[in-house]
Amino acid sequence: MATFVRTTDIPLGREFTLPGEYFTSAAIFAEECEKIFAARWLCVGREEQLRSPGDFIVRSVLGESIIITRDDAGELNAFYNVCRHRGSRICEEREGTFPGAIRCPYHAWTYALDGELLGAPSAADIPGFHSCDYPLRRVSLARWEGFLLVNLADAPARIEDAWAPIMGRFTRFGMQRLTALRTIDYQVRANWKLTFQNFSECYHCGPVHPTLSKATPPTSGENDLVEGPITGGFMVLNAGYDSMTLSGRVCGLPVGDLPAADTRRIYYYAIFPNLLLSLHPDYVMYHLVRPEAPDRTTVSCTWLFNPETPGDARFDPADGIAFWDRTNREDWAICERSQLGVASRAYVPGPYSRRETLPAQFDREVLKALGH
């Protein structure tokens, strides 16, 4: 059973925000890409996007193009989008269905859906050539609650170990069976860490989010994961609000078999380094954070609903989507203002408050991963 504590009850030493170079330095950004994003499990999408053999999605991870597809046996596979012949990129589409095999458009080398080389024109002319020596290069792939995760490391930690604190924690929300109704991509002119820090505290909610603050008191709620790479907890809905929607009404059927307490709570978890998860009684929202440059980040936000919601005239999913689209834009605008400030010669690290213990923990996780 999770043990929850108020943010202000979490011990906080005399901790300060990170120095400016952690938000502006190209060298530190490159180090983060290799030591954090190339070494950790990254969420790249949902299993529902790959329902049938041949279905595929292509995702960019640190400049690498990754193909994820379902093979004829129903298994999921992830490969570098690189032909084993002369390195051509095989697939340019972002999603689709392979017609039974994966064919490179350059010299027609053709691979099975499980990555094995099926055929290569004129390969008989190559001395010592054996098809089994040239499968597509695999990328480690894992699944969690309907999400797809990849890891570029040669020998990554097992997902069951890396994400141990949340294994089985959210089963009651039925995320594996939910369906995505909307995704919005945001281009944020700020460092990726500012988006994570902002998500992890509501100290800013009163000044920045007037609509959100009416739905949930900024000082409400408690946290249960306060150390390590995964942090978060819940906030409580105000009287008169049944969900985080513009109307205050629920906008979908229940996402799972929830206890009464969960119908009045919104759970927020930051899963280092690229997944921000928000669980509501009537929908689940998640953000995927993709660093592009020291001062530029792409954030993709997706809303998941009970699959029966779209056919039920009592509910309007757009009510919740519009609520968070407004809130997201407020967040990204303040992150961009923060980026401008931390890039100034006048900036020096400032002290964290007792309501910012989770951003302080996030900073410790970044420094630990970098070995700084």
Q: What tens digit of pLDDT does each residue of 338-358 get?
A: 999 999 999 999 999 989 999
Return the SS3 of 96: strand
- Give residue 119's pLDDT: 92
3-class secondary-structure state, position 182: strand
Contact between 78 and 67 (Cβ < 8 Å): yes
Distance set, CA 92 to CA 84, 102, 140, 364 (Å): 16, 12, 21, 38
pLDDT band (50, 70, 90) for residue 9: low
The predicted pLDDT at position 1 comes to 55
| Rounded Cα gap, residues 276 and 319, in angstroms | 21
What is the reported pTM?
0.94
H and E: helices and strands count for the chain: 8, 17
Closest CA to 277 of 250, 255, 249, 246: 255
- CB atoms closer than 10 angstroms to residue 153: 12
What pLDDT band is residue 5 in, cutting at 50, 70 and 90? low
Question: Is it the case that residue 278 has pLDDT exceeding 70?
Answer: yes
Section 57-65 average pLDDT:
96
Q: Which of 157, 148, 159 is nearest to 58 (CA)?
A: 148
pLDDT at 123: 84
45: left (phi over 0), alpha (psi -120 to 50) or beta: left
Among 93, 50, 331, 41, CA closest to 180: 50
In this predicted model, what pLDDT tens digit does every residue of 290-322 receive, in sequence order? 999 999 999 999 999 999 999 999 999 999 999
Structure tokens at 12: 């906080």
| pLDDT 10s digits, 67-122 | 999 999 999 999 999 999 999 999 999 999 999 999 999 999 999 999 999 999 98
259 has pLDDT over 90? yes
Q: What is the mean pLDDT of the chain?
A: 95
Q: Which strands form 140-144's sheet, in the order they lie side by side?
A: 42-46, 147-151, 140-144
Q: pLDDT exceeding 90 applies to what percent of the chain?
A: 92
Catalogue all structural domains in the chain, each as residue range(s) with its CATH number: 9-38+168-370 (3.90.380.10), 42-156 (2.102.10.10)
- Predicted confidence (pLDDT) at residue 3 exceeds the cutoff of 80: no
Model confidence pLDDT, tens digit, residues 232-246:
999 999 999 999 999
Cα separation, 218 vs 90, whole angstroms: 48
Q: What is d(CA 45, CA 261) in angstroms, rounded to the nearest whole number?
A: 29
Q: For residue 95, give every residue at least 6 positions away whose Cβ sits within 8 Å of its Cβ, in sequence order, or none.
A: 49, 55, 56, 57, 58
Query: What is the sign of the dihedral through the CA atoms of 338, 64, 164 and 50?
Result: positive
The span from the CA of 142 to the CA of 77, in Å, is 9
Please give the pLDDT value at position 24: 98
Residue 54's pLDDT band (cuts 50, 70, 90): very high
